[in-house]
Amino acid sequence: KGFWKGNETLCSAVLPLADLITKSSVGGPVALKSVSAEGSSGKKAKALGGSLNVTVSIRSPLGGPEIVYSEERKLVIEPWPAVVTPVHVPVPVVESSGHGSSSTSGVKATSVEAERAGTPTTTAPTADTVENKPTLLTGAMATLTEKERTDPHNVDFIESNDVLEYEIATAQALMSSSTDEDEQFNSNMRVQLLNTKLQLLVYSVQNETLTMEQYLENIKNRVKRDQLIALYFKNLGDKENVDIALQVMKRVTIMKKEIQNAEEAQQEED
């Protein structure tokens, strides 16, 4: 009877709500942690185990509308190439007293017979006429994902604090200077996504879930990927894609400078 007389904490559970910045629902099984407290009898309560299923939903994420990316693979089968049956054309041999004239006559006769048979004559390619042009997705560029090749400015590809701040300033400037409503809307959405990514990064550092070593390693890996993305768009050749390559390389420059400053600061501390 005395046990139920007042409020008493039996256990506790913690549900992280940070994902509500980008998601409209979080939850799942939450581990129950035991609580030690002095009861009325002076004895400590026993530890409780188990888990509790908890779900928290809101109308829309705190950082803005939730965006879900989906990728689909399609198999495209093109028409089968036409089958070409080779036509055998007999080559007459024309004898001549001159050594050089025999070869010339044979070549002329071959061309004439080929024309009569309706078979076009072809010239074998030489080393001067064959160009060995590399394809766009060769070597390391073959590892680029479809998302990296179609959406190089995606927020998911930004790992650096300095790049996030630069991109936020750029998007805000574009939003304030543009007169196009669609462009203003897209810039505003990008600013919200970038701010959300920056807040999550700061949250991870403050809660020590992301160390400085891990952070720098993430940036170094991102530098390598962005260099491949820039090279891919540069090889496309046209002005629009070259401009995209230059914008991606701007991110690379900022990240390299940030890495250099961080390493110099670590050396000074040591």
Based on the fold, state whether residues 155 and 39 are members of the same structural domain: no
Based on the fold, state whether residues 145 and 243 are members of the same structural domain: yes
Residue 66, domain member (yes or no): no
Based on the fold, state whether residues 262 and 156 are members of the same structural domain: yes
Most confident residue range from 77-86, 198-207, 218-227: 218-227
Q: Is residue 3 very low, low, confident or very high in pLDDT (cuts 50, 70, 90)?
A: very low
Q: Which tokens hold the place of 86? A: 């080779």
Residue 81, domain member (yes or no): no
Q: Report pLDDT digits (tens) over 11-49.
A: 777 888 888 888 888 888 887 777 654 444 445 545 466
Based on the fold, state whether residues 150 and 261 are members of the same structural domain: yes
Based on the fold, state whether residues 165 and 263 are members of the same structural domain: yes
User: Which residue range(s) make up the domain with 41?
Assistant: 11-57
Q: Report pLDDT digits (tens) over 133-176.
A: 444 566 777 888 889 889 999 999 999 999 999 999 999 998 88
Residue 182, domain member (yes or no): yes
Q: Rounded to an integer, what distance in angstroms lies between the CA atom of residue 118 and that of residue 112?
A: 10
Most confident residue range from 3-17, 20-34, 65-79, 214-228: 214-228
Based on the fold, state whether residues 251 and 151 are members of the same structural domain: yes
Residue 111, domain member (yes or no): no
Based on the fold, state whether residues 44 and 156 are members of the same structural domain: no
pTM of the model: 0.49
Based on the fold, state whether residues 147 and 263 are members of the same structural domain: yes
Residue 218, domain member (yes or no): yes
Residue 89, domain member (yes or no): no
Based on the fold, state whether residues 259 and 166 are members of the same structural domain: yes
Based on the fold, state whether residues 163 and 264 are members of the same structural domain: yes
Q: Which tokens hold the place of 105? A: 């006559």
Q: What average pLDDT is seen over the chain? A: 75
Q: Rounded to an integer, what distance in angstroms lies between the CA atom of residue 114 and that of residue 89?
A: 6
Percent pLDDT > 90 in the chain is 23
Based on the fold, state whether residues 260 and 152 are members of the same structural domain: yes
User: How many domains is the chain built from?
Assistant: 2
* Amino acid (one-letter) located at 85: T
Residue 209, domain member (yes or no): yes
Q: Report pLDDT digits (tens) over 237-264.
A: 889 999 999 999 999 999 999 999 988 8
Residue 130, domain member (yes or no): no
Q: What is the separation of C-alpha 260 from the centre of its chain, rounded to a whole number of angstroms?
A: 24
